[in-house]
């Protein structure tokens, strides 16, 4: 699929069939995630790939808007021990966000559906995900990406708004 098509086709998909996502596709998604840019190329990310039903159930309860039934979840975490020092450390959020968007776009390309459910900076949700995955303190869960074969197909759309563009010529 052309990138320009995938960009507009990417919509949040929240309904999936029970069909599992193949291991090949999971690897494709992870390659896409890790090919994203990161500040000073620190790659301060960790990816938890979850198919275990009991853990998926815990993730669904982790946050108010994370109650999504999907055969697969990828939790993207920042690894503070790999992040830039002191004031620059919060760049991990942008790094992990870039990786997340890459995963979402590759999912479209693979004819999968996906939705990004935010976790950080919601402290209770972070704690719930941390407990569900037994994360060490240095890992901060940014989001849960639910992925699967879609059973809904939101329309492709372009949200271009010229009022948001500021030309400096």
Ligand X SMILES: Cc1cc2nc3c(=O)[nH]c(=O)nc-3n(C[C@H](O)[C@H](O)[C@H](O)COP(=O)(O)O)c2cc1C
CA distance 14 to 68: 6
Strand order in the sheet with 45-50: 45-50, 72-79, 139-148, 113-118
Segment lying near ligand X (by CB under 6 A), choices 25-33, 41-49, 78-86, 111-119: 111-119
Segment lying near ligand X (by CB under 6 A), choices 10-18, 25-33, 50-58, 127-135: 10-18
Give the CA distances from residue 123 to residues 37, 41, 74, 148, in Å, rounded to whole numbers and listed in that order: 26, 27, 19, 27
3-state secondary structure of 12: strand
Q: How far is the CB of 103 from ligand X (least distance, A)?
A: 12
Q: How far is the CB of 63 from ligand X (least distance, A)?
A: 6
When asked if residue 11 is in the footprint of ligand X (CB under 6 A), the reply is yes
When asked if residue 154 is in the footprint of ligand X (CB under 6 A), the reply is yes
Segment lying near ligand X (by CB under 6 A), choices 18-26, 34-42, 44-52, 109-117: 109-117
**166: enclosing H helix or E strand:** none
CA distance 149 to 85: 40
Selected from 27, 65, 69, 121, the binder of ligand X by CB under 6 A is 65
Q: Are the beta carbons of 84 and 91 closer than 8 angstroms?
A: yes
Segment lying near ligand X (by CB under 6 A), choices 11-19, 81-89, 105-113, 132-140: 11-19
CA distance 60 to 52: 12
Q: Closer to ligand X at the Cβ: 118 or 138?
A: 118
When asked if residue 115 is in the footprint of ligand X (CB under 6 A), the reply is yes
Q: How far is the CB of 100 from ligand X (least distance, A)?
A: 8
Closest by CA position to 117, among listed 148, 150, 86, 76: 76
When asked if residue 12 is in the footprint of ligand X (CB under 6 A), the reply is yes
- The site for ligand X (CB under 6 A) is made up of 11-12, 14, 65-66, 115-118, 154
């Amino acid at each position: 699929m052309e990138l320009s098509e995938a960009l507009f086709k990417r919509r949040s998909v929240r309904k999936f069939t029970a069909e599992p996502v193949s291991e090949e596709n999971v690897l494709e998604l992870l390659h896409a995630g890790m090919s994203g840019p990161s500040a000073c190329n620190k790659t301060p990310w960790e990816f938890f790939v979850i198919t275990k039903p009991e853990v998926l159930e815990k993730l669904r309860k982790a946050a108010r808007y994370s109650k999504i039934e999907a055969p697969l979840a990828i939790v993207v975490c920042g690894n503070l021990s790999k992040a830039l020092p002191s004031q620059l450390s919060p760049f991990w959020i942008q790094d992990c966000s870039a990786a997340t968007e890459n995963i979402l776009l590759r999912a479209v390309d693979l004819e999968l559906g996906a939705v990004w459910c935010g976790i950080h900076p919601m402290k209770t949700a972070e704690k719930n995900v941390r407990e569900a995955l037994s994360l060490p303190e240095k890992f901060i869960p940014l989001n849960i990406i639910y992925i699967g074969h879609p059973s809904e197909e939101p329309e492709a759309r372009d949200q271009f708004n010229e009022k948001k563009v500021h030309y400096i010529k």
